[in-house]
Amino acid sequence: MDIRVAIFEDNELIRDALEAVLNDTAGFTCCGTFSNGKRWQPNIQQCNPDVILMDIEMPGISGIELTTLLTKEFPGIKILIQTVFNDSEKIFRALSAGASGYILKNDSPQKYVQAIEEVMNGGAVMNVMVAKKALAFFSNKNIFTPLPENENYGLSTREEEILNLMTDGLDFKIIGEKIFISYETVRTHVKNIYKKLHVSSKIEAVQKGAQLKAFSKP
């Protein structure tokens, strides 16, 4: 069954290009395109998407505001925020609003397809630059929650290695190339990491990984 993707994007050229990419890619269907979020409830009910590509800057309701509304009304739908900006404040707000990931508009069509597949499989997507900025935001705002004293999460050596690379801002494909394992093997390890750390997203894993790295230093 095809992955159904809806697009909220006020730029007609970008909207049409994304629609064409999705409809020309096996396993994907663009089920609706919208220039704004004015009629978001009937739009979503009509097209019934699995994933939404959400422009962060739209007239009227912003992408972040719309993400908040959508995740409350339709919690099963995954949302990928897309933007031309590298703004850590907006990254944090988008993730806090319930977005499953964040992608830059200058990323390749292949990365868009991979990102959609990633969130459909329970992952969280962030551009490398975005991941680093989001981590810096968490650190600078001092919003890390304390780790339980002497907590042993039981990560294997390989899982610790992958978590450290995630904390450094690397995406799964680059991690696989760096440690000579397949993308799918990386994803399997990441699922185990999520389970052991008791987290449900990449940003939570990166946050906890940064804490573990900090507390392990002499």
pLDDT digits 0-9 by tens, 190-208: 889 988 888 777 777 777 7
d(CA 139, CA 47): 39
Q: Which residues of 33-71 are buried (b: 16+ CB within 10 A; e: fewer)?
A: bbbbbeebeebbeebebbbbbbbbebeebbbbebbbbbb
pTM over 0.85: no
As annotated, the residues of the chain forming the CATH 1.10.10.10 domain(s) are 144-216
Q: Which fold has domain 144-216?
A: Arc Repressor Mutant, subunit A (1.10.10)
Q: What is the mean pLDDT of residues 49-72?
A: 91
Could you tell me if residue 148 is left (phi over 0), alpha (psi between -120 and 50 degrees) or otherwise beta?
Answer: beta
- Among 20-34, 44-58, 131-145, 169-183, the range scoring the smallest mean pLDDT is 131-145
Options 3.40.50.2300, 3.90.220.20, 3.40.950.10, 3.40.50.1980; CATH for 3-138 is 3.40.50.2300
As annotated, the residues of the chain forming the CATH 3.40.50.2300 domain(s) are 3-138
Strands in 28-34's sheet, in edge-to-edge order, are 28-34, 3-8, 51-55, 78-83, 101-104, 125-126
**Among 36-40, 98-102, 191-195, 200-204, the range of highest mean pLDDT:** 36-40
